[in-house]
């Protein structure tokens, strides 16, 4: 019911008790009016009027009201430095345009403590030709916490970062909800920066759409971190193949992706965390994807018994023990986990490792391979781990892919101190691309290699995903795998092997 006592401060009409505060524009003047008709603030600098209302009445609702024509445009001034949104509820009228100045380099909305609720179906964008140097929603906490907040409904265009979550010191960002947000042409959609002893945990990201722009968007969801965060039906559309749809950091733990379009359909997907899970429809084959047995076959091995595998590896694993000596292998266990140690013995050009004597995978059946290695020695050493078009044991070779097809991780200390990406399509000589990552000892190196869209292989290593499109196994080439270490001097060389997973369609 309208309030029949109070009068609208601008129009001299009857006021209605619909929102605690209304923020609106008439001509070039902006107004903040309390529900009872009290004029809180007015002026030509919109951010001053809006911030005055938020600060004067915390824990209340501010309705950004639209009108006709230009009155829908809430145009921030050239000196705009952002709105602080601690403990308030901002509601966008449908069709309202919140416009930051051209070249803006700050944060449009910043929350540092408590809770913020931003809802409605307004539009937030940069005036003029966008420079994309700004963040839209910045949640930055160094102490206490930002909890139980909600951002739901707005559409953002041409920002640097749409949503940025940062913790330092002892702060935390927990239990917040980010829903139904559409973002066009950003550089980054959602980014996390978890620091100190702080955490970003138990947050829900639901139906967030990131519409990428070619040559501009680098990341849909960047450096996702923390624990027990849920991503449901979130999508990164049309990102370049050089961009990244989604990546989890090494400190992420126990997070989940359910559905959506984040796991490498066009851009890259990288999981460096632990216990993160993906529930997807088989659009792409990535780590920790749950699929049905009539769609995909799985095989796993872990360092408990050298030849005992599960799934399609059951009964199909064979030890690599090439050369006099002989090479040996043994189970081990310490704080790093359970592993098998391959020992070449002291006889030169001995090889010790694991392989299959059958070829269960092909490129067009989405061949997938993942393993993790740990070098005890990195001198006078060669290491290979990956696909190979051979069911025979490897021989001592400076070019293990010569006259074979395959894609694998390769290290030869006589050639380079770095790991390399090896690949070949059966030519007399394999190709070996430098990863730029030194092959250090006492360091766990997971590597993930899988066929993608039947026209390339993706090689995920040390936080970088690389497309390999040339000199790769043909679509129907049968593929097995090798994992081995070789010594190139008369001294024993050892390597730990922690786990192995393969996957193939049907």
pLDDT tens for each residue of 219-274:
999 999 999 999 999 999 999 999 999 999 999 999 999 999 999 988 999 999 99
Angle (CA) 274-277-283 rounded to 5° is 130
**Domains within the chain, CATH numbers bracketed:** 76-279 (2.160.20), 296-505 (2.60.120.200)
Q: Percent helix, strand and coil across the chain, each rounded to 5?
A: 5, 50, 45
Q: Scan for tokens 């009290």, then name that residue.
A: 38
In whole angstroms, give the CA distance from residue 181 to residue 162: 10
Nearest CA to 46 out of 99, 96, 89 is that of: 99
Q: How far apart are CA 380 and CA 331, in angstroms?
A: 24
Please, which residues bridge with residue 63 across strands? 22, 91
pLDDT in tens, 494-506: 999 999 999 998 8
What does the pLDDT read at residue 1? 38
Residues in the chain: 506
Residues 6+ apart with CB under 8 A from 374: 336, 339, 442, 443, 444, 445, 495, 496, 497, 498
Cα–Cα distance list, 424 to 355, 421, 430, 473 (Å): 19, 10, 5, 7
Q: What is the pLDDT of residue 59?
A: 87
pLDDT at 11: 52
Quick one: pLDDT at residue 9? 46
Q: What is the pLDDT of residue 2?
A: 42
**Model-level pTM?**
0.91
- What letters, b where the CB count within 10 A reaches 16 and e where it falls short, cover 120-133? bbbbbbbbeebebe
Residues of the chain with pLDDT below 50 are 1-7, 9, 12, 14
Residue 30: what pLDDT? 96
Using CA atoms, how far apart are residues 151 and 410, in angstroms rounded to an integer?
46
């Amino acid at each position: 019911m309208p309030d029949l006592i109070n009068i609208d401060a601008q129009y001299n009409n009857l006021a209605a008790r619909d929102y605690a505060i209304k923020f609106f524009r008439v001509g070039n003047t902006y107004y903040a009016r309390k529900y009872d008709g009290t004029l809180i603030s007015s002026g030509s600098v919109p951010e001053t009027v809006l911030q005055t209302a938020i600060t004067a009445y915390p824990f209340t609702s501010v309705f950004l009201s639209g009108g006709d024509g230009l009155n829908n445009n809430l145009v921030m001034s050239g000196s705009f430095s952002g709105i602080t949104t601690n403990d308030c509820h901002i509601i966008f009228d449908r069709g309202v345009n919140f416009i930051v100045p051209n070249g803006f380099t700050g944060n449009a909305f910043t929350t540092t403590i408590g809770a913020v609720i931003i809802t409605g179906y307004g539009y937030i964008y940069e005036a003029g030709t966008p420079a994309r140097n700004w963040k839209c929603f910045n949640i930055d906490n160094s102490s206490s916490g930002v909890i139980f907040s909600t951002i739901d409904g707005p559409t953002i265009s041409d920002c640097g970062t749409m949503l940025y979550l940062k913790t330092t010191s002892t702060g935390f960002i927990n239990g917040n909800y980010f829903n139904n947000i559409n973002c066009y042409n950003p550089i980054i959609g959602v980014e996390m920066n978890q620091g100190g002893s702080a955490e970003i945990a138990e947050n829900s990201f639901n139906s967030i759409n990131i519409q990428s722009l070619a040559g501009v968007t680098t990341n849909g969801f960047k450096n996702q971190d923390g624990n027990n965060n849920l991503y449901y039906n979130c999508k990164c559309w049309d990102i370049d193949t050089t961009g990244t749809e989604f990546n989890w950091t090494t400190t992420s733990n126990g997070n989940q992706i359910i559905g959506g379009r984040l796991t490498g359909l066009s851009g890259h997907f990288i999981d460096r965390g632990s216990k993160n899970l993906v529930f997807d429809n088989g659009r792409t084959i990535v780590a920790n994807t749950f699929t049905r047995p009539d769609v995909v076959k799985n095989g796993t091995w872990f360092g408990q018994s050298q030849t005992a595998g599960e799934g399609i590896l059951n009964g199909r694993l064979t030890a690599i023990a090439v050369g006099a000596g002989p090479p040996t292998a043994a189970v081990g266990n310490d704080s790093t986990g359970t592993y098998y140690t391959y020992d070449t013995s002291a006889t030169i050009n001995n090889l010790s490792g694991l392989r299959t004597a059958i070829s269960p995978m092909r490129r067009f059946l989405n061949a997938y391979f993942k393993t993790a290695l740990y070098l005890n020695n990195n001198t006078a050493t060669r290491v290979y781990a990956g696909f190979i078009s051979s069911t025979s044991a490897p021989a001592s070779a400076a070019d293990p892919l010569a006259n074979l097809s395959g894609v694998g991780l390769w290290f030869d200390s006589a050639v380079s101190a770095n790991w390399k990406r090896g690949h070949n399509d059966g030519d007399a000589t394999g190709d070996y691309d430098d990863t730029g990552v030194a092959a250090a000892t006492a360091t766990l190196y997971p590597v993930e290699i899988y066929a993608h869209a039947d026209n390339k292989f993706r090689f995920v290593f040390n936080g970088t995903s690389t497309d390999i499109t040339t000199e790769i196994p043909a679509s129907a080439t049968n593929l097995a795998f090798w994992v081995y270490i070789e010594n190139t001097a008369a001294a024993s060389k050892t390597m730990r092997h922690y786990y192995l997973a393969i996957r193939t369609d049907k």
